Structure 1
């Protein structure tokens, strides 16, 4: 563990311990981490490479009344990004623009030539991408040929060849020296809006600081897209949650009401498990524009309509995924498992197969490829790594012609494959697996501190809150409770899917949702419990409880 600077010894012991676990050993770093500050941590957007060029081109388009298109990805990063850019253009009373979000199943990710042709036919001369475009070399050339200027704003890793766009705003590209290159797509869009307002906001009559109201969308995406919650992202997530708790956005209010959520209590988990999946359900199950229409709704009636639609789509999505997982497991139980699993069904929606793949990786500890068929007959799928292989490297190692298209990163990817090869795809992947296999890194349970059940109190909670918001790069503190005796263990929820433990001599309860561990716990069992601490506000309650990470019986 890093050596703690003496000037941090004034902090309480638990604060010191949690800081050390996060590699924070100086007073300066501790102050920055524990007390995110907007003015200090959210830097001038002009420090991002090509930002000024993008601003000048957009201002030129606004002055000339050009037809502008905001072209966004269909997930819970692109859609909030499109929403905040829509809010900005409406705020300055600019009307000659539209938002275009491609259909996940029929168009796929990123720019596509058919969409560009359509936009050109409508007289579009400027396309601004959000959360996509950095890999679309061919499509960028097509846009240029159509007379469309393309401004790419993205956060995905640039390839060796960049698209020939008018300009590219992406801090991961070579030559960019911005202090934080891990912003999500919506945050990059928010930086662009901030730069535009810094340049012309006074002329447009926009109050100074108005862009902070757009942080509900930038913060939503920062948490939902699982970028590291460090540096500027930490401030964007914190202030984004603050704005989300106060936002008067009709669509957000309607969605929260239908989920019986109290707006003032929104935390990171609510985005990850409640709000985000419903935004993503639009593209997985229907039209991604429905999620945009929800978030950008201006009337209560419109908001209610689209909130109902997304709730319904998400419910249908959960049922469909559960059925797909059940069917997949049934088939896998009847066959010999190999190093790589390939499974699919022409009736499965490609927009859902990634969720199935994630489930199967957990269940079978193998890299998994799951496929379905689009409405126009194309076989598309998603894959997830078990940690023994880079799935993109695996896919690109098979012989040419097997895959029609591949993409993604080390842990997760997407692919399309011809019907000629789909039934031999597992053979092809297994054949090259050993050539690209790597040693799996053993993930040991990381414990932040050993504590007693008596320390699950409001004083400890106040310390933990200083470390929020939690997410990638800043996980919730995990505590070890050694040798605690179970008073009662019960299953609850639909099909008894959840587990609740209570303990002798303590009012504290520990829960695990969708708990699949086979162990049966009974009164009197002595266990070592690893858990995170959380505030339960369900149905107006306000109580502390534990979320089980691991629990083992002691001999």
Structure 2
């Protein structure tokens, strides 16, 4: 699929020139900093040298006082506390963090995660009934609950109090909970709005320590869990998230909790983790527990403080992940066949595909794969409890949640983010919803958003890339949404030797530019250029820079995202 190359706004050149002199760095790197809002020496020091003192005061969050007061009362009176969370990575890390933290102060505590297949997403009646039957009088809900107005009202009738720790967008009416912690509340003045669900749990623990003069180490020990949630939930890695992600990666690489350490070992990589490694190696395995079985297995692993138990749980979860891969690959092939046979994409800007027997746990992954293939907002549905339930995925720049909101009269339930959501539909409304969704998206999406885009930060010569350049570049990490790894473009490069296909359709090649060193490069998914690139025929590349380690030898290589043949 052809992609657009789009140059990021370069900003004021004089500011980047001044910053380059003050920091003694390449102007291109200074330009990238300016593009990210860093315009002076003090901003750069704050960015390059994050500290935990940069974390915001948790009591700036609306209702934090009420939350801590209620939890303190529950602990003093030995009430039974239930920690309730969603079944994905953010939910399970949230539960593990909050349960583990408050377990330091009480033994009257347990955790609950709804069954994806039987209860669905969010607060469930079954979960509340479980709490009532077992004498729990306080539920701390994480990564869910902000729209569970009716469920919280039901819990109130049973004498069960709720503290909601959520990061999703609230509806017009907030649940009548003891406390609703959500920076996205219209009346919340917390300075950072993009925490993960686990991040809210982390702030709750921080607030409890702060209120009781407890050492910071009592909540900081959970930074690795918090970082995993930040990586997996694809929240912006800026401001507070960047600080937590930075120190969470330090902890993961130096002293991870027992459960994550076991998972790292079974994934085949035990050191030098980046956010990307967490996303592709750890997150899918944690998610697999809730997709293929019981998400409590993931929590058990994350809570393990014994090596043997952690190893057993990680081995079990890894096997579930292997099974999950088989499921999602087969379902993806079936979905592609349905799309091609029914010509769903003809003159449409959306894809809605349904099959009653698809595994509910993997259809989110399938929706992501279909979106990558056809690059348009996509919904994949299966049958569950008499309704059609599914996952939706969007393309960069398009607010999927707002589109679903416009179709809400045809939905039984929905929730999520700008780029990913879950939904439930009555079978008789599928056709009406599919047409309405197409109508809404068609009238609100810009045509250029249906063409994948590569955002280019800066044009450079290959000769500018050296050890110092890369070292400073890496100080901009951890990379993620709103702080992506910089993409460079270099023109007039030529082949050194012949390119070769590796893997399924990846291109391995060596290139150089006049007066530059030779750079080994990899171009994933660009095997079609093997016979197009010719010796002495200049071409342009856009790429990120990475370090390749082989047998303890390190060298810089280019990860090529796009290739264009230069015109004569």
TM-score over 0.5 for the pair: yes
Quickly say closer, same or farther: Cα 1:227–1:479, change in 2 above 3 A: same
Pick from 337, 342, 352: which aligns with 1:330?
Answer: 337
Alpha-carbon displacement from aligned partner over 1:450-506 (angstroms, at most 9, x marks no partner): 23334443221111111111101101011112122223322223xx24332222585
Which stretches in structure 1 are left out of the alignment for 5+ residues? Answer: none
Alpha-carbon displacement from aligned partner over 1:108-157 (angstroms, at most 9, x marks no partner): 11101121011111000000011111111011101111101100111111
The equivalent of 2:327 in structure 1 is 320
The equivalent of 2:3 in structure 1 is none
Alpha-carbon displacement from aligned partner over 1:42-70 (angstroms, at most 9, x marks no partner): 12212222112111111110111110011
The equivalent of 1:191 in structure 2 is 203
TM-score by length of 1: 0.91
Deviation at 1:433, TM superposition (A): 5.2
The equivalent of 1:31 in structure 2 is 45
Aligned: 1:223 with 2:231 = yes
1:43-58 matched pairs, under 5 angstroms: 43-58=56-71
2:500·2:530 contact (CA, 8 Å) conserved in 1? no
Aligned: 1:131 with 2:143 = yes
Which stretches in structure 2 are left out of the alignment for 5+ residues? Answer: 1-9
SS at structure 2 position matched to 1:9: helix
Deviation at 1:37, TM superposition (A): 2.0
Quickly say closer, same or farther: Cα 1:498–1:435, change in 2 above 3 A: closer
2:22·2:41 contact (CA, 8 Å) conserved in 1? no
Distance in 2 of aligned mates of 1:377 and 1:150: 30
Pick from 450, 453, 457: which aligns with 1:448?
Answer: 457
Distance in 2 of aligned mates of 1:70 and 1:520: 54
Distance in 2 of aligned mates of 1:312 and 1:456: 42
In the TM superposition, structure 1's runs of 4+ consecutive aligned residues that sit over 6 Å from their partners are: none
TM-score by length of 2: 0.89
More displaced, 161-170 or 435-444? 435-444
Alpha-carbon displacement from aligned partner over 1:79-134 (angstroms, at most 9, x marks no partner): 11211222212333x21100111122221111011210111110000000111111
Distance in 2 of aligned mates of 1:22 and 1:433: 30
1:50-69 matched pairs, under 5 angstroms: 50-69=63-82
Quickly say closer, same or farther: Cα 1:215–1:409, change in 2 above 3 A: closer
Quickly say closer, same or farther: Cα 1:335–1:215, change in 2 above 3 A: same
1:387·1:440 contact (CA, 8 Å) conserved in 2? no
2:507·2:526 contact (CA, 8 Å) conserved in 1? no
SS at structure 1 position matched to 2:454: coil
Pick from 458, 462, 467: which aligns with 2:467?
Answer: 458
Quickly say closer, same or farther: Cα 1:237–1:429, change in 2 above 3 A: closer
The equivalent of 2:284 in structure 1 is 277
Deviation at 1:240, TM superposition (A): 1.0
More displaced, 174-183 or 56-65? 174-183
The equivalent of 1:553 in structure 2 is 565
Quickly say closer, same or farther: Cα 1:46–1:366, change in 2 above 3 A: closer
Quickly say closer, same or farther: Cα 1:115–1:532, change in 2 above 3 A: same
1:73·1:132 contact (CA, 8 Å) conserved in 2? yes
The equivalent of 1:19 in structure 2 is 33
Alpha-carbon displacement from aligned partner over 1:308-331 (angstroms, at most 9, x marks no partner): 122112222222222222222223
Structure scoring higher RCO (CA < 8 A, sep ≥ 6) equals: 2
Distance in 1 of aligned mates of 2:115 and 2:549: 37
Aligned length: 543
Alpha-carbon RMSD across the aligned residues, in angstroms, is 2.5
2:262·2:310 contact (CA, 8 Å) conserved in 1? yes
